[in-house]
Amino acid sequence: MTTRQKLVAGNWKMNGSLQANRALLQAIRQGLADQPPACQVAVAVPMPYLAQVQQLLDGSGIALGAQDVSAHEQGAYTGETSAAMLGDFGVRYGLVGHSERRQYHGETDAVVAAKAAQLLAHGITPIVCLGETLAEREAGQTEAVVSRQLAAVLGLLGSDAGRIVVAYEPVWAIGTGRTATPQEAQQVHAALRAQLARAQAAQVPVLYGGSNPGGLINMVSKRPTGERIRKIEAGIDNNGTASFGFDIGDTLMKGAAHMAGFGVEYLIRVPLIILLCIVAMYVRNRSFHAAFVIFKLAYQFSWIMRHFDRIV
C-alpha cells in the first residue's frame, strides 16, 4: 500500500492584512512548535502577501502556497501571475480549479489543466480542486462531474499526473453550514482514487476540502482513501490550507459550534463558546463594522484552537 504523508493546508481566500498575517502566522508557528504535527502544513495566501509570508515562514517548515496561477508562461496578460513568478517567492503549492474560480471566473476544465501544467513545469505542486454543486449532487451526477474534471488534468499531464495533489471540495459544503458525511466524502474519494490508479497515478494524495466538524476530519483521515486531509474554505480569520482552514464568511454562532466539536480543554472551551454566542447575539443588532472587528478576533482565536489541538 502506498504511504502518503498527511497534509493540512489553509486557503486564506481574499482576506488578510500585513498586521493580521503577522499575528496569525506567529500563533501558528508557536502552536506547531508546542505540538509538532505528523503532517505537512501549508498556507495559500493572496498574491500581494507572498513576499511577507515567505519571510514570516522562513525556517518554520510550513509550506507557502498560492491561490491561483496563470495558464500562460508570460506575456500580455494584465493582472495575472505566472508560475515562474510564484517560484521566485518559494511557493511550493498552488491551488487550481477552486470552485470559486470555476464559478466566478468561468474557468473550464481545460484551463484548470493548463494551470496545473504550468505549476509542474516550474517545480510547484498543483492542488487540483474538484467538486460538484448541490444541483449536480441531487441529480446523482457527483461522480460523473468530478471524474470529468480530473480526466482533463490527467489527460494533459500524462506521465506527470502522479506529481499533483487532488482535493475533493463539494461546492455545496463550503461556507454554507452544510457538511458532507464521512461516507459521502469517502465514496467520492474512492471513485477518484480508482481513476487515478487507472492513470498510473495511485500515489497521488486525495484531500477533502469543505466545511466539516472535527469528527469528519478524524473519521475520513483514518480511512483507506483519506490518507491526507485538507480543509480549505475561506480567509485568514478562521477557515475554519485547511482547509487548511479559515472561514470568515461563517457566523459567530457557527464558530462556537465548531469549537465545541474540537478538543480544546473543557474549562477553556465552554467560556469561549458562551462568549462567542453572546457576541453573536449582540452583533446581530449592531453595526456591521463592530461585527467585522469582533468576528476577526474571535475567528482567529477559534482557528488556532481548532487546528492545533488535533492537527494530527
How does pLDDT run across 40-75, given as a tens digit for each residue? 999 999 999 999 999 999 999 999 999 999 999 999
Indicate which CATH number applies to the domain containing 110: 3.20.20.70
Distance in angstroms (rounded) separating the CA atoms of residues 163 and 118: 13
| 90 Rama sector, left if φ>0, alpha if ψ -120 to 50, beta otherwise | left
Known catalytic residue at 105: no
Q: Are 260 and 270 in contact (CB under 8 A)?
A: no
Segment among 55-64, 98-107, 148-157, 250-259 with least mean pLDDT: 250-259
What is the pLDDT averaged over residues 107-115? 98
Known catalytic residue at 98: yes
Q: Which residue has the cell 498556507?
A: 43
In a domain, 120, yes or no: yes
* Catalytic, out of 107, 132, 169, 227: 169
Distance in angstroms (rounded) separating the CA atoms of residues 244 and 206: 14
Give the largest CA-CA distance in the chain: 57
pLDDT at 63: 98
* Catalytic, out of 98, 189, 258, 307: 98
Buried b / exposed e over 175-207, threshold 16 CB at 10 Å, is: beeebbebebbbebbbbbbebbeebebeebbbb
Q: At what angle do helices 288-309 and 252-260 cross, to 10 degrees?
A: 20
Q: Identify any residues that bridge with 208 across adjacent strands, giving them in sequence order.
A: 168
In a domain, 276, yes or no: no
The torsion angles phi and psi of 209, rounded to 5 degrees, stand at: -135, 120
In a domain, 160, yes or no: yes
In a domain, 53, yes or no: yes
Give the Å distances, CA to CA, from 94 to 19, 32, 45, 175, 233.
24, 22, 10, 21, 15
Whether the link from the prior residue into 244 is cis, omega within 30° of 0, is yes
pLDDT in tens, 4-34: 778 889 999 999 999 999 999 999 999 999 9
In a domain, 103, yes or no: yes
In a domain, 208, yes or no: yes
Residue type, 18: L
pTM, 2 dp: 0.73
Q: Are 211 and 225 in contact (CB under 8 A)?
A: no
In a domain, 22, yes or no: yes
How many domains does one find in the chain?
Answer: 1
Which range has highest mean pLDDT (71-75, 236-240, 253-257)?
71-75
Strands 63-66 and 165-168: what pairing?
A: unpaired
Strands 125-130 and 165-168: what pairing?
A: parallel
The CA R_g of the chain, rounded to the nearest whole Å, is 19
pLDDT in tens, 162-176: 999 999 999 998 877
**pLDDT higher for 310 or 20?**
20
In a domain, 225, yes or no: yes
Domain boundaries, position 192: 7-249
